[in-house]
């Protein structure tokens, strides 16, 4: 898994999040930041969408990034023409391969899908394009048809197959088996594209990588349709800390790009979000807080400094005396025994009533009350 390639689709699938729209300048900033972070491939949009999208893609091509820029296309020659017109050298082709989508979305047959794939691949090879071929809704497709589809990809010059869990129904054990079998039967390079409908996008993506998939689709902060895609920050940090990979990514860029994409997409990074949420490095409960004060590794698998955060010790309903003394020492106050007991009792009472932890200003107010009570 040290050789995993991240193909980030923030500028394509991420922008398909309901209500999200990136302007040209935002797309340029995001692409540059992804490149600086070390992401190897960027799915940079859909030129066939129209003149603005074409111009956006051209501008991204002009940046001269190290990352490979890929244009997304439906499996129709007109889309490929639009991508070629704006200078695309690498394309993603997408055709549905589940019976439900073939029959009810396209109103076609499996045979039509295979013949259309041949036509599109023949056209792409005329222009010497790098070709990733996606199987939309592959996780609901019959496995034998997936293999038949991949064999056409190989025969007609496609470079890799994108296995798409379009509606997020996979679970990690099944994902591992499917990807392992695809590689065993066909030997093709596999790209995994997961959605988070059941909260398994990251787990499924990493399971596919364990099974031999070389490419993982991601989006920054997990943007994407419905519940979103596999978040790039989760994939990178899991590769580093769970799988002990020697990753080529600049981890220090993660918070900056995430906050920028959050701003540009108008999608808040929740406090409890994995990797990026402030509660990752905030401790209130006495058991955890006491352990962290003794050694942060007791309750932190990632250091806050690595992600650009600072550890926070906060006081609330579940805090204990050791945390209380530490926190007030930070605030510049030494507490006697009476004050410690009084203040902790007041903190617990107020935190329970407010249903949150107590901020520094409120702590100082409670401290001043303790002086009056103790006088």
Q: Is residue 271 part of a domain?
A: no
Q: Where are the alpha helices (DSSP H) in 106-171?
A: 110-126, 143-155
Tens of pLDDT, residue by residue over 16-27, are 999 999 999 999
Q: Of 211, 235, 265, which residue is a domain's last?
A: 265
Measure the CA dihedral 334/339/340/345, to 10°: -140
Is residue 158 over pLDDT 80? yes
Is residue 305 over pLDDT 80? yes
357 in the same domain as 260: no
Share of the chain above pLDDT 90, in %: 95
Q: Check residues 263 and 339 and name the one with the higher pLDDT.
A: 263
Q: Of 215, 232, 265, which residue is a domain's last?
A: 265
Tens of pLDDT, residue by residue over 315-336, are 999 999 999 999 999 999 999 9
User: What would the mean pLDDT of 205-209 be, rounded to a whole number?
Assistant: 98
Q: Is residue 162 part of a domain?
A: yes
Q: Is residue 270 part of a domain?
A: no
CA distance 122 to 158: 9
- In degrees, rounded to 5, the angle at the alpha carbon of residue 363 between the alpha carbons of residues 305 and 361 is 75
User: What would the mean pLDDT of 48-63 be, rounded to a whole number?
Assistant: 97
132 in the same domain as 89: yes
**What CATH number is given to the structural domain containing 207?**
3.20.20.70
CA distance 195 to 227: 7
292 in the same domain as 180: no
Domain tally, the chain = 2
Tens of pLDDT, residue by residue over 168-182, are 999 999 999 999 999
Q: Of 208, 242, 265, which residue is a domain's last?
A: 265
Residue with tokens 């020492």: 329
Is residue 33 over pLDDT 70? yes
- With cut-offs at 50, 70 and 90, classify the pLDDT of residue 269: very high
Among the listed residues 142, 88, 65, 154, the one whose alpha carbon sits nearest the alpha carbon of residue 118: 154
355 in the same domain as 247: no
Q: Is residue 145 part of a domain?
A: yes
247 in the same domain as 328: no
Mean pLDDT, rounded, of the chain:
96
119 in the same domain as 10: yes
251 in the same domain as 115: yes
Among the listed residues 37, 38, 55, the one whose alpha carbon sits nearest the alpha carbon of residue 46: 55
Tens of pLDDT, residue by residue over 243-258, are 999 999 999 999 999 9
311 in the same domain as 202: no
Task: Specify the pLDDT at position 1.
Answer: 84
Q: Is residue 29 part of a domain?
A: yes
309 in the same domain as 252: no
161 in the same domain as 42: yes
Q: Is residue 337 part of a domain?
A: yes
282 in the same domain as 253: no
Q: Is residue 272 part of a domain?
A: no
**Tokens found for residue 241:** 């800390």
324 in the same domain as 212: no
Q: Is residue 258 part of a domain?
A: yes
Q: Whole domain around residue 350: which residue ranges? A: 278-374
Task: Specify the pLDDT at position 375.
Answer: 62
């Amino acid at each position: 898994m040290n050789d995993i390639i991240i193909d980030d689709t923030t500028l394509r699938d991420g922008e398909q999040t309901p209500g999200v729209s990136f302007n040209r300048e935002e797309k340029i900033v995001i692409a540059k930041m992804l490149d600086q972070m070390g992401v190897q491939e960027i799915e940079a949009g859909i030129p066939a969408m129209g003149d603005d999208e074409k111009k956006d893609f051209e501008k991204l091509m002009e940046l001269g990034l190290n990352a490979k820029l890929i244009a997304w296309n439906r499996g129709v020659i007109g889309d490929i023409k639009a991508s070629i017109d704006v200078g695309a050298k690498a394309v993603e082709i997408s055709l549905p391969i589940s019976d439900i989508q073939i029959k009810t979305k396209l109103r076609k047959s499996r045979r039509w899908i295979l013949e259309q794939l041949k036509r599109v691949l023949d056209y792409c090879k005329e222009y010497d394009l790098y070709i990733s071929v996606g199987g939309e809704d592959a996780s609901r497709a019959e496995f034998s048809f997936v293999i038949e589809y991949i064999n056409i990809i190989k025969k007609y010059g496609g470079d890799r197959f994108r296995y798409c869990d379009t509606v997020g129904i996979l679970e990690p054990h099944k994902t591992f088996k499917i990807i392992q079998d695809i590689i065993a039967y066909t030997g093709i390079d596999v790209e995994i594209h997961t959605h988070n409908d059941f909260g398994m996008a990251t787990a499924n993506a990493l399971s596919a990588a364990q099974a031999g998939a070389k490419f993982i689709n991601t989006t920054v902060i997990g943007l994407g349709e419905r519940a979103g895609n596999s978040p790039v920050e989760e994939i990178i940090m899991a590769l580093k800390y769970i799988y002990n990979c020697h990753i080529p990514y600049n981890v220090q860029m993660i918070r900056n790009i995430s906050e920028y994409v959050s701003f540009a997409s108008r999608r808040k990074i929740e406090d409890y979000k994995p990797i990026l949420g402030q509660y990752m490095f905030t401790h209130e409960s006495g058991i955890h807080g006491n352990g962290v004060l003794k050694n942060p590794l007791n309750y932190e698998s990632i250091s806050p400094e690595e992600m650009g955060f600072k550890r926070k010790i906060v006081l609330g309903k579940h805090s204990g005396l050791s945390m209380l003394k530490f926190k007030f020492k930070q605030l510049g106050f030494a507490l006697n025994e009476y004050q410690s007991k009084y203040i902790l009792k007041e903190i617990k009472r107020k935190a329970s009533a407010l249903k949150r932890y107590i901020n520094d200003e409120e702590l100082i107010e409670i401290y001043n009350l303790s002086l009056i009570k103790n006088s």
